[in-house]
Structure 1
Amino acid sequence: MSRALFVIDVQNDFTEGGALGVDGGAAVAAGVTELLSRHRGEYDLVVASRDWHSAENDNGGHFAVDAEPDFVDTWPPHCVAGTDGAEYHPALDTELVDVHIRKGQGVPAYSIFEGTDDAGDTISEVLTSHGVTDIDMVGIATDYCVRASTLDALEHGQHVRVFTDLIAGVADASSAAALAELGHAGAEIAESTVLDEAGR
């Protein structure tokens, strides 16, 4: 059994003060670093994703240009490649990350499975090459990119745990609905304290 930690989109634009900041985002960044400081050895692979949108276009309709964003399918510009908003939140210790995935380069992308690493490999290829069978999921936002990434991981055949103390969502109702959906789809909904209680 090989276990990975997926850190989804813990970026400045998705944390407090950012273009699409969510409440609790900075706490997620700090909490993930704390988790890894205590349990890094229990993960064979740590993967972090980032939205990395193009500045030259509307990213396949993802950015609202000619109308107000609906905050469902269209959004204000965010996480534009090379800007401070696209960088990881400073409380996230990226020295503890093995693989960096960029997604949404000119197109809408919510799931980590839609991105590639620096070598151009998909996350599916990375997981296969490392023999990963189990994934713990943390990050932002519960009701969008964490949800999409978890569903795709389950589809990929992984056993997935979502740590509810290390995620933050856009809205309470949609985040609760997302967690219910993920549980129904086969994900284990837990808190990261399970690592303290029983190790892996």
Structure 2
Amino acid sequence: METALIIVDVQNDFCEGGALGVSGGADTAAAITAYLRDNGWKYAAVLVTQDWHIDPGAHFSPEPDYLDSWPVHCVAGTDGAELHPGLAPVVKAGALTATFRKGRYEAAYSGFEAILADPEAEVPGTTADAGEALDGAEGESLPEWLNTRRIHAVDIVGIATDFCVRATALDAVRARFDTTVLPRLTAAVHPATVPTVLGELRRAGVTIDEDA
């Protein structure tokens, strides 16, 4: 069975020093890179997702509750939306197969809402005309991409365990992929909730690999 690794939202704004940095974000980026160095051979594809916001409405708030609303983060074309430098060895080694972006005009927690980025497209300088020029605006969705390549299993890592990793894993199961989360290669917004989140994922049919 062909398996893909999905690296969820390991971006500057979600790591320490970013607009919505979580504790352990940079360490997670480094740990994923180390994991791929030893285990990349297991995967038919290595994919990354990125939050890539233009105008996500109430997802951005000046008074965020950190559950449904958040500070401005991962704005399309900004440094905060770029992959964290801890993943640079993976990028330079050519280990990444494809990049998928999500959340242009909505929250889009799940990587399964993301569409394939077009590396040739130009990112505009302002949000006013961003919709027409953004990477992959009419691209292939992540589940379409996996199905076309007959990939039937996904391992999921990244940020944040309790939000975008969780949502991606739940959607992967709903889409009938054999789904595994590697929690040691994730970081959470609310670490105290992680046992509850992992329990929810197990009940939904996700395998939790505590040893990876």
Identity value in percent = 46
Deviation per residue, 1:129-155 (Å, 9 max, x gap): 111111111000000000000000000
Tell me the equivalent position of 1:140: 159
Q: TM-score normalised to the size of structure 1?
A: 0.90
**Residue matched to 1:73:** 68
**C-alpha distance in 2, partners of 1:177/1:86?**
28
Query: What residue number does 1:125 align with?
Result: 144
Q: 2:59 aligned with 1:62, yes or no?
A: yes
Residues 10, 101 of structure 1: alpha-carbon distance in 2 compared, 3 angstrom cutoff: same
TM-superposed CA distance for 1:192, in Å, is 5.1
Structure-2-length-normalised TM-score: 0.86
4+ runs deviating over 6 angstroms: none
CA RMSD of aligned residues (A): 1.1
**Deviation for aligned residue 1:191:** 3.1
Give the deviation of 1:173 after TM superposition: 2.4
Determine the structure 2 residue equivalent to 1:155. Answer: 174
Distance 1:110 1:73 in 2: 10
- Hey, what's the Cα distance between the residues in 1 that align with 2:73 and 2:211? 29
Alpha-carbon distance in 2 for matches of 1:192, 1:82: 36
1:45 equivalenced with 2:45 (yes/no)? yes
1:86 aligned onto 2:85: no
In 2, the alpha carbon distance for the partners of 1:114 and 1:136 equals 17
| Deviation at residue 60 of structure 1 after TM alignment | 2.4
Paired with 1:29 and 1:96, the residues of 2 have a C-alpha distance of 14
- Mapped to 2, the partners of 1:14 and 1:175 lie a distance apart of 17
Map 1:158-197 → 2, pairs under 5 A: 158-191=177-210, 193=212
- Per-residue deviation, residues 27-59 of structure 1 (Å, max 9, x unmatched): 1101111111111121001110000011xx3x1
